[in-house]
Structures are given as C-alpha cells and as structure tokens.
Copies of this chain bind each other. A is one copy, B any other.
Amino acid sequence: MLAEIITIGDEILIGQIVDTNSAWMAQKLNLIGIKVKQITSVSDDAAHITEALKLAEGRADVILITGGLGPTKDDVTKVTMAKYFHMGFRRDQETLDHVTHIFTSLNRPMIELNRRQADVPDGCEVIQNKNGTAPCMWFEQHGKIYVSMPGVPFEMMYLMTEEILPRLKNAFKLPAIFHKTILTAGIGESFLAQEIEDIENALPDHIKLAYLPKLGQVRLRLSGTGADEATLQQEVMFYAQQLIGRVKKNVVADQDIPLEKALLNIMQERQLTLSTAESCTGGYISQLITQHPGCSAVFAGAAVTYSNALKMSVLGVLPETLENYGAVSEQTVKEMAMGAVANFKTDYAVAVSGIAGPDGGTEEKPVGTVWIAVATQYKVVARLFRFGNRRAQNIERAAIAALTMVLNELKQDVG
C-alpha cells in the first residue's frame, strides 16, 4: 500500500517555514503499514497542483494533501481539486455552523469570505476540523483516495490521528500491525546489533526489527504484521522481552518516548527529585525536561551558571577550585552537581561544564571538551566527553549524555 504526500503553499517554497508535517505523517502512515513513495511540495498554483495530483495518482493508492485551504484568493486547493474531479460546489451546513460558532465565540464579525470556508466540492465527504475553520475533505476518485487537510500542524495532526488513519486502515483492509519500541541509550548501533544478533536472526518472517539511531540513543522497533492482533501482540512482546533482557543495562524505556521523558517517568515512579546545574548547555537540559507536562513532580529547577561568579554564589563552587582547575574540569563540575543537590534540595543533580565553541578552546581543552557530573547526597561521579566542533551539536550531545548518565546512576542505585 503506497501513499504520497503533497504539501501546497508558497511559504514552503520560499523557505519561510520548514515542512515538519510530512515527516510526522510519514511516520504515522508507516506505523499502520502504508509506505510513503514521494513527498512533493508545490506552490499555490492550480496548474502545478493538478500536475502533482496526476503524477501522484500514477504512483500511489492514497494521496494526502495539506495546505492551501485558507479563505483568501491565494489558496486554490479546494477549487483546483473540484475542477480536477469535475465537481461543483455545495455549502456544507455542518461546516458553516462550526465556522459560525468559532467566529461567535471569538466575538469576531463574519464576512462572506469566511462563510465560503463551508463551500466544498459536491462529490467529497466532509470531515469536520474541530480545531480550525478549514474543513478536511475525503475524495474517492479514479480508484484512489485523496484527502485534503489544512496545513496548520496541530489541526492536521488531530485530523490524521482521530479520523484519517483509522479510515485508511479500514478502507484498505490493512492487516493488523503491532509495534513495540525499546529505547536504549549509551550504546552504538553496531554494538547493539552484535549483542542481539541471535535474537534478530531468530525472528519469524512476519516480525521485523528496525534500528532507529539518534544522537547517543538507539530505538529498537519490533513490527509484527498478521491477521490476528491479539496473537501478534503476544508474539511481538515475547521477542521484546528477549531484547530487553539481553541489553538490559542500556534499556531506558520500553516505549517510544524521548529520553528525558523516560528519566522523568523512572524518577516519578521512585519519588525522586532532580535539578540541573548547567554551564555550556545553557538551560538546554532544563528546557528539554520542562517541555513535559507534570515534570514538576520530579524537577525542581536549574541553575544556568554561565559566569564563574554564579557558579560560586548559586552552586557554592569554591574560588580555589575554579582558580586551580578552571571552569571546565572534573573538580568544578562535581562541586556544581553537589552544590545543586545541597542548595536545591533534590535527590539527584546533574551538572555540565564544557567548551561548546566555536571559541574558548585551548590545546589541553579543545572545543567539544565537556565534563558531566551526577551527584546525590551520598556520592558524586564525573565523566569527560569529547564531542566535535559545532556549538549546537555539542550542546545537544552534552544534554543527551547528561540524561544518560543520570539514568545509569539510577540503575546502579537500585541494583
């Protein structure tokens, strides 16, 4: 089963926005067993859209279209699709009621332009868009399925999750698929592959293993395809347990969540608290953690001590330590972590001090040199990392390494 994604909008072609929708959609389609053949971004131009539709239907079974559904004249998706399928227009009452409701509740006057949001090609099925004024339209034509959705990411995501994916599963009578993702950290893809080689080789044909590596983490995803969902789930879970047992020391979650969320879950379960003391990461770790609702049960806060003065006053790093060893040193980073535990009264603290670059490197401590320490009331450990030359990547890699170090300490502290 093949899909194509067509994103419509000049703002993508002038580079004003990055198309994040397509990757998200491709992931979700893959998970239900639909492969994306091509992603195409075209301008708000009828002839160009028509050409893209024609070419896509020659390659795929379902064509998902986002964007170009605004009320203004630049947005031509709806008109172009109606013309393409030789359809007229009808005003959809449910959509009109919904649009009217939105304008009323915002206390904004509604003009004919807004009412036209409710005009849809008469041969399509309308799917209500609860989060916006542009309706989603489902066409079954030329033996293919076409879905036109708004380009606003959260509107598209809601529609895909709640409506489009279930309908596609149904329309194509897709076989049951069951996925199980295991998040590992601190082990490279090839080492991991070696460790689990025999388990991978023993997998039956209908269960596949994918390695999804990303900055110090590897996700292992088992995907089983079959007729009966319950049996499938049992089978996949059997192999998942084998994998988890084998690489136990590197597994940080048995689900597909970000690394910092895995850490939050483990600490919340054990009723532990965390703080961070960040120099070169500049609050990046704190910001990763606080993306997640409910993090306050674990996370007390962070000290971003960019200056040495703050390392001393907020974290209690000794002036002698900074003088004798420098800000980027085992001694300083340990005192930072211990200072956070003491002053922020958390069970764990992680501290990072390094040279993110591009300046500030020396022969002894080149750009990319990063010290990370994890402390509790009872102990402190530190490790030296040497990353690369690029500032943004050094910050990100230091953050991932710091989270992984806390996870490792948590494992040891329980075992």
Residues of chain A at the chain B interface (Cβ within 8 Å): 12-20, 22-30, 35-43, 48, 52, 55, 154, 212, 276, 278, 280-287, 289-291, 293-296, 299-307, 309-310, 313-314, 343-345, 356-359, 390-392, 395
CB-CB nearest 8 A-B residue pairs: A282-B290, A283-B283, A283-B286, A15-B27, A15-B26, A302-B304, A39-B41, A15-B23
Which residues in B have their C-beta under 8 angstroms from that of A24? 15
> Do the beta carbons of B40 and A13 come within 8 Å of each other?
no
Shortest CB–CB separation between residue A271 and chain B, in angstroms?
Answer: 15
A15, A40, A299, A345 interface centre (most CB from chain B within 10 Å): A15
> Do the beta carbons of B313 and A343 come within 8 Å of each other?
yes
The verdict on A304 contacting B282 (CB below 8 Å), with A19-B22, A40-B39, A359-B293 known, is no
A25, A282, A344 interface centre (most CB from chain B within 10 Å): A282
The distance in angstroms between the C-alpha atoms of A30 and B358, with both chains bound, is 29
Q: Told that A15-B25, A55-B55, A296-B306 touch, could you supply 5 new A-B pairs with CB distance under 8 A?
A: A13-B26, A13-B35, A38-B52, A293-B356, A303-B304
Which residues in B have their C-beta under 8 angstroms from that of A42? 38
The distance in angstroms between the C-alpha atoms of A291 and B284, with both chains bound, is 9
Which residues in B have their C-beta under 8 angstroms from that of A309? 300, 345
Which residues in B have their C-beta under 8 angstroms from that of A55? 55
> Do the beta carbons of B306 and A314 come within 8 Å of each other?
no
Which residues in B have their C-beta under 8 angstroms from that of A48? 37-38
> Do the beta carbons of B282 and A284 come within 8 Å of each other?
no
> Do the beta carbons of B39 and A293 come within 8 Å of each other?
no
Chain copies in the assembled complex = 2
> Do the beta carbons of B290 and A283 come within 8 Å of each other?
yes
> Do the beta carbons of A18 and B16 come within 8 Å of each other?
no
> Do the beta carbons of B310 and A306 come within 8 Å of each other?
no
> Do the beta carbons of B310 and A301 come within 8 Å of each other?
yes
Shortest CB–CB separation between residue A114 and chain B, in angstroms?
Answer: 16
> Do the beta carbons of A301 and B303 come within 8 Å of each other?
yes
Which residues in B have their C-beta under 8 angstroms from that of A285? 283
Shortest CB–CB separation between residue A322 and chain B, in angstroms?
Answer: 14
> Do the beta carbons of A359 and B294 come within 8 Å of each other?
yes
The distance in angstroms between the C-alpha atoms of A23 and B30, with both chains bound, is 24
> Do the beta carbons of A38 and B40 come within 8 Å of each other?
yes
Which residues in B have their C-beta under 8 angstroms from that of A392? 291
The distance in angstroms between the C-alpha atoms of A26 and B24, with both chains bound, is 21
Which residues in B have their C-beta under 8 angstroms from that of A27? 14-16
The distance in angstroms between the C-alpha atoms of A268 and B300, with both chains bound, is 31
The distance in angstroms between the C-alpha atoms of A304 and B281, with both chains bound, is 13
